[in-house]
Structure 1
């Protein structure tokens, strides 16, 4: 970590992303609470999350933009536009203003998609290939930490400041992230304005990331297995209320304890993920992450407190380990001029089915015992993890990297 933070550009990006991710973790929950406060409707509050995810339909266009505009410029503009996007929330006062919250939520959802692809494409421009696992690990660790404390901060600030003032605070955070982007050197590894020698239609260029993902063996395998694991994770998320109520015999508020345990596991997984990638390779790391999901799901089949907390920690650990492995594989196997589109295609394939799986789980838990569903999910993910583990030769571990010396302006030199 110290070698990364010694590099001025990565340190700047790290701080800028920390500020913007804090605003994100606060904002997402606060919008739903705000709608509930204005209308008293759980359904309308839940629709906020639908508005946030709706822009996934235009995700391929986001990848095309990231590959056709310098990534530093996209990062700056995106954070600046997000800050401006939040300003209409300052005039929300009553239920008739609900459409403003939904419109802002949809706009922010699109901003999040583009930002995710931009960061995936920008990181390889700021750090050498042998430090990609460490860079992704650092960012995932912060993300998991904010996932743990962000909702608490958001709920607390909303109760103290109200929705409009909280939106103003988040806008300032995005503005600061934009300023951080201006301090980046803006180096790039390839000419992003170049075009393939053959003549391509606009539709072909937009879909190029999907086609590359389909023909690259390691990425294709990881994408498929990760999508299946996210389906299992989505189904599992719908079972927690039944698990806490019927299994543990506790109030629904106890779910917050399990979520906190997942957050602790997420931080631990984020810290350890770079080492896992170096030892097992990117594909092996994703397999380990999915295996942790599987073990956690199987442990929840027997509802008891002494298994509930460790199982939640295991599930929390699985996400950053698999994400760091997947992102590092994406960055190391994808040409620079395709990275934005491929990143969006991968994110859509992996994250999209999870939302549908949450709905499926909510339907199934009404007719099937939640323990059977946890067991079936866990067994299915064991097979997915096993299949991916057997394919780890597609991306074997890299040669161990020696200690790296770095300063703020020079490339690191490995001591042989």
Structure 2
């Protein structure tokens, strides 16, 4: 296989100027969002020196995402998706601007800061289901996976770059400038989407309110392949999420060296970026279900082996492998969702996928912490990895449609 075919497929950048603009805007906006995430954590800790308030930041982000997403998905499936995305972008930018104002002003109650974070997350929950239809509507079907891979690798790169840039900006210019740069970054995201044509739902529009939400949930529970994809993701995150165990395992096995802990946290991201950068064969292979199952099983095995190793370098290797497997699994899952879901339901299904992606890791970290409290960090890692592998095997055995053939949207109602 040639090196060119091994690298990430960049055909969407060459063939679609609209997608290229969207990707550039999204990349800059994601960079700004990671800067704001770090800045909020820094500011809350600086204001309170309380781990409880620091934990409330995650709550202020998770609750609106879960609470707003499903209804936003039904709303998106009734309206022009382009307008909905622009609404979410403008609202998020306005919240970042208000965060910048309070950052320059100082002496703002921490509750006001968290309220702004919650409102901004609510606008993001509106924009995310709308953005979920862009790739399958703008690219030919054979390039959808490649477009999703480009989105993913740009997001992972900004996840690595954003915190570092935030640290530099915070050190030189302070909190207000960091928030202001995020507000400005939404300008490119707005520009990328403003030139899109109208993108109303294709097919029957969503029913209003709860009825539309229930229609989306019925599709999720009735469509075996999409349901299997989301269950596989939940198995990987809820049963074997490792991040909350890193400090404990570092203390148990490696003397609590902060440098080792930092490498653990970076290794997953490095593996993810590397796997996505060489995702060409994966996106050209028209069997995302089989790829997702194999990658999710590899994630569980790698984390179990990480829990067993006493060598820091071997452990880092296992985490790089786990990060690579996770990136491939997420890319394959998103490809399944966006190619198997009818356009009229895509906003609601994307919203559900967002909730799974947001809530799963939180529950997974909670599970890991509870098990580690009863036993040890290594035991929590090993048992979680084994349970993940067993759950993924169960999904594969009970959902042959997921593992046996390529995804087409018309096989099931």
Cα drift, residue 394 of structure 1: 3.2
Pairing 1:77–2:87 present: yes
1:298–1:379: 8 Å Cα contact kept in structure 2?
yes
Q: 1:38 aligns with which of 47, 57, 70?
A: 47
Instruction: Quote the Cα distance in structure 2 between the aligned partners of 1:142 and 1:164.
Output: 26
Counterparts of 1:347-362 in structure 2, within 5 Å, are: 347-362=354-369
Cα drift, residue 123 of structure 1: 1.2
Question: Secondary structure in 1 aligned to 2:374?
Answer: coil
Question: Secondary structure in 2 aligned to 1:190?
Answer: coil
Question: Secondary structure in 2 aligned to 1:220?
Answer: helix
Aligned to 1:210: 217
Pairing 1:155–2:167 present: yes
Instruction: Quote the Cα distance in structure 1 between the aligned partners of 2:250 and 2:222.
Output: 43
Pairing 1:91–2:91 present: no
Q: 2:78 aligns with which of 68, 90, 95?
A: 68
Aligned to 2:129: 117
Deviations 1:68-94 (A, max 9, x none): 221111222211121111222212444
Cα pair distance change 1:207/1:160, threshold 3 Å = farther
| Alignment gaps of 5+ in structure 2 | 1-8, 408-413
Aligned to 2:181: 169
Counterparts of 1:293-304 in structure 2, within 5 Å, are: 293-300=299-306, 301-304=308-311
Instruction: Quote the Cα distance in structure 2 between the aligned partners of 1:160 and 1:208.
Output: 51
Aligned to 1:2: 10
Cα drift, residue 322 of structure 1: 1.2
1:39–1:95: 8 Å Cα contact kept in structure 2?
no
Instruction: Quote the Cα distance in structure 2 between the aligned partners of 1:95 and 1:233.
Output: 40
Cα drift, residue 40 of structure 1: 2.2
Bigger mean CA offset, 384-393 vs 288-297: 384-393
Aligned to 1:286: 292
Counterparts of 1:305-324 in structure 2, within 5 Å, are: 305-324=312-331
1:52–1:109: 8 Å Cα contact kept in structure 2?
yes
**Given the two structures, how large is their TM-score scaled by the length of structure 1?**
0.88
1:278–1:397: 8 Å Cα contact kept in structure 2?
no
Question: Secondary structure in 2 aligned to 1:365?
Answer: helix
| Alignment gaps of 5+ in structure 1 | 400-416
Cα pair distance change 1:23/1:233, threshold 3 Å = farther
1:273–1:285: 8 Å Cα contact kept in structure 2?
no
Instruction: Quote the Cα distance in structure 2 between the aligned partners of 1:370 and 1:280.
Output: 38
Aligned to 2:67: 57
2:304–2:386: 8 Å Cα contact kept in structure 1?
yes
Q: Which runs of 4+ in 1 moved over 6 A?
A: none
Cα pair distance change 1:208/1:385, threshold 3 Å = same
Instruction: Quote the Cα distance in structure 2 between the aligned partners of 1:201 and 1:171.
Output: 32
Instruction: Quote the Cα distance in structure 2 between the aligned partners of 1:95 and 1:190.
Output: 49
Instruction: Quote the Cα distance in structure 1 between the aligned partners of 2:102 and 2:316.
Output: 43
Aligned to 2:3: none
Aligned to 1:29: 38
Aligned to 2:335: 328
Pairing 1:245–2:251 present: yes
Instruction: Quote the Cα distance in structure 2 between the aligned partners of 1:95 and 1:368.
Output: 43
Instruction: Quote the Cα distance in structure 2 between the aligned partners of 1:396 and 1:51.
Output: 41
Instruction: Quote the Cα distance in structure 2 between the aligned partners of 1:273 and 1:264.
Output: 14
Cα drift, residue 398 of structure 1: 4.4
Instruction: Quote the Cα distance in structure 2 between the aligned partners of 1:233 and 1:380.
Output: 8
Deviations 1:296-353 (A, max 9, x none): 2122122311211111111211222111111111111111111001111233245323
Question: Secondary structure in 2 aligned to 1:386?
Answer: helix
1:79–1:177: 8 Å Cα contact kept in structure 2?
yes
Cα pair distance change 1:202/1:88, threshold 3 Å = closer
Cα drift, residue 124 of structure 1: 0.9
